Amino acid sequence: MKWLLIFWGGPVMLLSGWYGLSYYDMSFGIFMLTREAHDLVFRIYGHILGIPPETIPPLVARAMVVDTLIVFGLVALRNWRLIAAWCRRRFGAPQSSEAPSLASEANLSSAP
């Protein structure tokens, strides 16, 4: 789980942090965090991809959401037994009125 946070969460936080700081021009004296650098980066990517620079941020955000769903889906598949056990503890297994509980079966089998 530690490596998941490092290799997936690190780049997501780095990109989100850069985007937010450069979009609102909170540069702290660093050129890469200025609005000029922000616009330049998206102009370069737009030119390389052949699309308007304004369309790139929503595409990146959508890709990050899809990647997040895929990563957490894989984690859920890997740990599905733990998740199922937690759900059973939290919400309880459904009991039907016809089926006797395990406790009553144990009492019946020990009767003489």
Instruction: Please check whether residue 104 lies inside any domain of the structure.
Output: no
Instruction: Please check whether residue 109 lies inside any domain of the structure.
Output: no
Better-predicted residue by pLDDT, 83 or 28: 28
**Structural domain total, the chain:** 1
Instruction: Please check whether residue 101 lies inside any domain of the structure.
Output: no
pTM of the model: 0.65
- CB 23 within 8 Å of CB 15: no
Domain containing 27 equals 2-91
Residues 88-95, mean pLDDT to the nearest whole number: 76
Listed in sequence order, the DSSP H helices in 24-111 are 35-49, 56-78, 80-91, 102-109
Task: Quick: pLDDT tens for 29-73.
Answer: 999 999 999 999 999 999 999 999 999 999 999 999 999 999 888
